[in-house]
């Protein structure tokens, strides 16, 4: 029934094997550490003994040297992993900073009216109507009847009642790469919404009849991983219940397919499929992390309708599940104030966006004071925010990231308190990528499960899911998706891939920060030798990029060293270059500006999309300049309004006062310098 | 350290008594510092929570990443020198540095030269074929000495075999793969 296109890695070893015991014990001989020939043997002739000793020594030599080789690769893999995590973490920090920025703006009367208008526009994007008016507006905008299915459409057809056959048909269609018609997407989403509206904030799950329930972590649009899970664990059904713990969309390229399959599963088996909202089930994040782009790309003129409906559906997703009264499942985690009785009473649908809920920050007021929000409202917001955004930490205590976004970092003492308060035995959460696909912490009271394998790059991590079985400890199953080849990747290939991507990432960051770096290098290299010490290079790079990585270990792959061990710092930029397609030659000042724009590409894009209400990819020249300048204030980078306009003009985008920001952003690319014939990066 | 010196390399200290610089000791000190830095960097890659400890299970990888070639048995010895009875599952940076610094200084566990490794293969090649088969490897490497587990064996075979079909390893070529040096 399933296509042969993917290969399942059945049950790779779960944990590293324990230390092996030596078959032929090596005698302890501290005087001769080099000698591997001292081996114990039993009653053999002298000659046989010698031969046997030699043989054994040979075996051990080969084993030892191979282990060393393998270890060197492990280190490289581990280092690459550190790079990814650091970059991802830095990216998320940026996202949070962006929204803190908007809230700050709304909080004080902005001296610069320009800033306030930008913020207002972005926050006004979410719906501000309430109740019945909202229902009517939503139905009008997103009714499937508006869209006709053309006779030329070859994909699957869905009609009510939606059943198991539709589910299976969709699986096959999506595996073949087919796109479901917008009409049917709306149909399914409306059905889903109808069911979600009747669900409580916290799903009550019982394994009494089914004896087990499977918890799936972040999928992030990975259809391949979902297919592996269904293959290994069986399709969802009334006998095979599932809890999907959020972050179904964003980052991956098949977010909508994954979301639709899970939706249909829930529609067909509403009593045994459960959904928890993740922090990425939020239109504000979809702006930046890919889901919105995916929808626009796949559904073009229907995108706005779909996005509007998704926005609303997210708000109806339950925020957690409780299994058998003692296992709490939520996407992010908990905090010191987590209280189920309070959570149960919240009207969750108010939180269209969890990160920046518009009913708390009214978009119509330009002079908004955060001090005006009642305290219990703020606390209520925190309850939900913390569930979806928090991360565990190793030391005691709870550090909130203020009310402006991001949840908490909670410690083992908080776990003990909250678990005891509610009489829970275990907290299952997701939200963080783990190498093995899962991770226990806080004395095994917190279990992280992450189901998107190869999340950073091919070979970076396994995925996992958890089977919760009545009266038994949870069973964890790992897997890896290998989409493209039938051959499983060896350790060597895996490391090469993972490392290659990571290094490329870093080289890009160098080129984008070239001016800053060169300035700092020059300060240290007063004698203009072109060289600086390893320590100085590591220091500067770490500071300018704001990435704290094992630079010493990495440097051999990033720069050239001299025979005396000093670093030829120009070689930091020998592979990648930021190219800007301009019709006018660039000056030094403009190069800096271009680099600054590229560095902030993600943030810029996010804000542009927020302003572009009809998803046309186009905003006015004035809005465009306002955004760049406002973001600059916040970021500490100088975006001079005039400079920006000049730049935009020279990229030949200023037609009729509108700017195609897709074109604008595309004008900036990182290219491989070594490649003379190809302009593509 | 040393500030201004005169022609003899002597340095006036605060009370203007003159002490001789000891270039040997200074260069030893520098070498020591370099060793410590190198060790700390390798250690930090596995220090997940930035609390100056690594799990004991990672010690082998860390030591090998420094270019050393201990056997599993030798690793056990090193581990027992470093580990703390009150906390057997993790190793603290301080103990790690102490033990490893001596090991590096004494240049222990440097491993064999390439010729000896080649000889090891030749010893196993009882028929003198110039190659070894997957089956032979499995018999030796998975059952004798410090046996491989399945994962290690699979990884070994993927780089050992000449090509996928013939199940043979012409070890003369393979030896170079094993002796790869990581540039520091």
A394 touches B: beta carbon within 8 Å: yes
Measured between beta carbons, the chain A residues lying within 8 angstroms of B123 are: 54-55, 58
Per-residue pLDDT tens digits for A79-106 = 887 788 777 766 666 665 555 555 554 4
The reply to whether A307 and A430 lie within a common domain is: yes
Q: Which of residues 460-499 of A touch B (CB under 8 A)?
A: 490-492
* Interchain proximity B68–A68, CB inside 8 Å: yes
Distance of alpha carbon A2 from alpha carbon B159, whole angstroms: 33
* Structural domains of chain B, with CATH: 15-105 (1.10.238.10), 114-178 (1.10.238.10)
The stretch A435-462 carries a mean pLDDT of 91
Q: Is the dihedral of CA B120, B123, B125, B130 positive or negative?
A: positive
* Interchain proximity B183–A556, CB inside 8 Å: yes
Per-residue pLDDT tens digits for A363-414 = 444 444 455 566 777 788 889 989 998 988 888 888 875 433 468 889 999 9
Give every residue of chain B whose pLDDT is below 70, as ranges: 1-19, 49-50, 163-164, 181-184
Tokens of A181: 């018609």
Helical ranges in A144-221 per DSSP H: 164-175, 182-196
Q: Is A432 domain-assigned?
A: yes
A146 Cβ neighbours under 8 A, 6+ residues apart: A305
ipTM (interface pTM): 0.85
* Interchain proximity B178–A66, CB inside 8 Å: yes
Q: How many degrees, rounded to 5, is the angle at CA A659 between CA A653 and CA A662?
A: 90
Tokens of A161: 């009642």
Q: Is A537 domain-assigned?
A: yes
B87 touches A: beta carbon within 8 Å: no
pTM for this model (two decimals):
0.72
Domain interval for residue A75 = 46-125
Q: Which of A408, A387, A378, A399 is nearest to A103 (CA)?
A: A378
**Contact between A442 and A391 (Cβ < 8 Å):** no
pLDDT at A9: 32
Please state the length of chain B: 184
* Interchain proximity B73–A26, CB inside 8 Å: yes
* Interchain proximity B144–A59, CB inside 8 Å: yes
List C-alpha distances in Å: B38 to A99, B24, B34.
41, 21, 6
The reply to whether A241 and A317 lie within a common domain is: yes
Please give the residue of chain B at the shortest CA–CA distance from A12. B151
Q: Among A294-298, A354-358, A567-571, A621-625, where is mean pLDDT lowest?
A: A354-358
The reply to whether A414 and A535 lie within a common domain is: no
A111 touches B: beta carbon within 8 Å: no
What's the total number of domains in chain A? 4
Query: Closest Cα of chain A to B29: distance in Å?
Result: 17
A422 has catalytic annotation: no
The reply to whether A463 and A532 lie within a common domain is: no
pLDDT at A451: 97
Assess whether pLDDT exceeds 60 at residue A10. Answer: no
Q: B3 vs A492, which has greater pLDDT?
A: A492
Measured between beta carbons, the chain B residues lying within 8 angstroms of A25 are: 73
The reply to whether A314 and A361 lie within a common domain is: yes
What does DSSP assign to residue A525?
Answer: -
Q: Is A152 domain-assigned?
A: no
Q: Which of residues 60-79 of B touch A (CB under 8 A)?
A: 60-65, 68-74, 76
Per-residue pLDDT tens digits for A221-248 = 999 999 999 999 999 999 999 999 999 9
Q: Which residue out of A166, A181, A280, A634 is catalytically annotated?
A: A280
* Interchain proximity A556–B184, CB inside 8 Å: yes
Measured between beta carbons, the chain A residues lying within 8 angstroms of B51 are: 394
Query: Closest Cα of chain A to B86: distance in Å?
Result: 17
* Interchain proximity B145–A59, CB inside 8 Å: yes
Of A62, A94, A125, which one is at a domain's C-terminal end?
A125
* Interchain proximity B121–A62, CB inside 8 Å: yes
Please give the residue of chain B at the shortest CA–CA distance from A555. B184
Per-residue pLDDT tens digits for A55-88 = 999 999 999 999 998 888 888 878 887 788 777 7
Measured between beta carbons, the chain A residues lying within 8 angstroms of B151 are: 13, 17
Whichever domain contains A525, its CATH number is 1.10.238.10
Q: How sure is the predictor about A107, in pLDDT bands with cuts at 50, 70 and 90?
A: very low
B179 touches A: beta carbon within 8 Å: yes
Per-residue pLDDT tens digits for A309-343 = 998 999 999 999 999 999 999 999 999 999 999 99
Q: B83 vs A116, which has greater pLDDT?
A: B83
The reply to whether A410 and A358 lie within a common domain is: yes
């Amino acid at each position: 029934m399933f296509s042969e296109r993917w290969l399942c890695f059945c049950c790779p070893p779960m944990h590293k094997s324990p230390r092996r015991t030596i078959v032929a014990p090596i005698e302890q001989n501290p005087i001769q550490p080099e000698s591997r020939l001292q081996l114990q043997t039993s009653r053999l002739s002298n000659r046989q003994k010698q031969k046997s000793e030699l043989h054994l020594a040979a075996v051990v030599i080969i084993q030892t040297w191979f282990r060393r080789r393998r270890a060197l690769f492990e280190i490289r893999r581990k280092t690459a992993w550190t790079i990814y995590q650091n970059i991802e973490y830095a990216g998320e920090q940026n996202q949070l900073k962006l929204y803190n920025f908007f809230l700050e703006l709304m909080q004080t009367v902005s001296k610069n009216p320009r800033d306030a208008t930008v913020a207002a526009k972005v926050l006004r994007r979410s719906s501000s109507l309430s109740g019945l008016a909202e229902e009517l507006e939503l139905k009008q905008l997103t009714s499937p009847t508006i869209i006709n299915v053309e006779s030329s459409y070859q994909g699957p057809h869905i009609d009510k009642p939606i059943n198991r056959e539709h589910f299976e048909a969709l699986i096959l269609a999506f595996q073949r790469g087919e796109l479901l018609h917008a009409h049917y997407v709306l149909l399914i989403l409306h059905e889903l919404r109808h069911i979600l509206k009747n669900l409580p904030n916290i799903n009550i799950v019982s394994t009494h009849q089914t004896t087990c329930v499977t918890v799936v972590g972040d999928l992030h649009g990975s259809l391949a991983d979902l297919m592996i899970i269904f293959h290994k664990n069986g399709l969802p059904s009334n006998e095979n219940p599932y809890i999907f713990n959020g972050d179904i969309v964003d980052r991956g390229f098949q977010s909508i397919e994954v979301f639709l399959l899970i939706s249909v599963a829930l529609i067909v088996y509403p009593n045994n499929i459960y959904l928890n909202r993740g922090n990425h089930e939020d239109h504000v994040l979809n702006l930046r992390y890919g889901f919105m782009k995916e929808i626009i790309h796949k559904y073009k003129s229907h995108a706005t309708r779909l996005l509007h409906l998704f926005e609303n559906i997210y708000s109806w997703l339950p925020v957690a599940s409780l299994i058998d009264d003692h296992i709490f499942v939520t996407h992010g985690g908990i905090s010191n104030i987590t209280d189920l009785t309070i959570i149960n009473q919240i009207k969750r649908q108010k939180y269209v966006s969890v990160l920046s809920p518009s009913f708390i920050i009214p978009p119509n007021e330009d002079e908004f004071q955060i001090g005006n929000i009642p305290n219990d409202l703020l606390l209520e917001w925190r309850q939900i925010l913390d569930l979806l955004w928090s991360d565990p930490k190793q030391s005691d205590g709870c550090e909130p990231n203020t009310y402006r976004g991001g949840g908490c970092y909670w410690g083992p003492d908080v776990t003990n308190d909250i678990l005891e308060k509610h009489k829970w035995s275990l907290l299952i959460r997701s939200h963080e990528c783990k190498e093995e696909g899962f991770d226990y912490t806080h004395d095994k009271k917190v279990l992280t499960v992450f189901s998107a394998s190869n999340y950073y790059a091919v070979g970076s991590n396994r995925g996992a899911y958890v089977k919760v079985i009545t009266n038994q400890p949870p069973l964890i199953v790992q897997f890896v998706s290998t989409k493209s080849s039938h051959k499983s990747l060896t350790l060597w290939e895996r490391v090469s891939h993972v490392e290659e991507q990571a290094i490329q990432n870093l080289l890009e960051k160098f080129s984008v920060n070239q001016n800053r770096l060169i300035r700092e290098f020059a300060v240290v290299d007063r004698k203009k030798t072109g060289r600086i010490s390893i320590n100085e290079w590591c220091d500067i790079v770490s500071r300018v990029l704001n990435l704290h990585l094992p630079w010493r270990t990495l440097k051999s792959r990033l720069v050239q060293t001299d025979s005396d061990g000093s670093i030829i710092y120009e070689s930091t930029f020998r592979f990648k270059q930021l190219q800007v397609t301009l019709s006018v030659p660039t000056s030094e000042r403009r190069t800096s500006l271009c680099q600054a724009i590229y560095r902030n590409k993600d943030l810029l894009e996010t804000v542009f999309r927020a302003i572009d209400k009809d998803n046309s990819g186009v905003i006015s020249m004035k809005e465009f300049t306002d955004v760049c300048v406002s973001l600059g204030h916040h970021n500490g980078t100088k975006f001079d309004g005039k400079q920006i306009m000049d730049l935009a003009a020279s990229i030949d985008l200023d037609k009729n006062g509108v700017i195609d920001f897709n074109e604008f952003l595309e004008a900036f690319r990182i290219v491989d310098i070594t490649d003379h014939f190809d302009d593509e990066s | 350290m040393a500030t201004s010196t005169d022609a003899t390399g002597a340095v006036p200290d605060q009370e203007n008594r003159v002490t001789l610089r000891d270039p040997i000791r200074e260069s030893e000190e520098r070498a020591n510092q370099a060793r410590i830095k190198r060790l700390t960097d390798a250690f930090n890659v596995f220090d997940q929570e930035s609390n100056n400890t690594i799990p004991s299970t990672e010690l082998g990888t860390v030591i090998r990443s420094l270019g050393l070639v201990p056997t599993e048995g030798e690793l056990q010895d090193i581990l027992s020198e470093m580990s703390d009875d009150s906390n057997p599952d993790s190793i603290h940076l301080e103990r790690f540095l102490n033990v490893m610094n001596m090991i590096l200084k004494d240049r222990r566990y440097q491993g064999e030269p390439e010729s000896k490794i080649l000889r090891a293969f030749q010893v196993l090649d009882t028929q003198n074929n110039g190659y070894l088969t997957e089956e032979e490897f499995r018999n030796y490497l998975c059952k004798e000495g410090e046996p491989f587990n399945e994962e290690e064996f699979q990884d070994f075979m993927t780089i050992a075999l000449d090509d996928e079909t013939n199940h043979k390893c012409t070890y003369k070529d393979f030896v170079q793969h094993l002796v790869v040096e990581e540039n520091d």
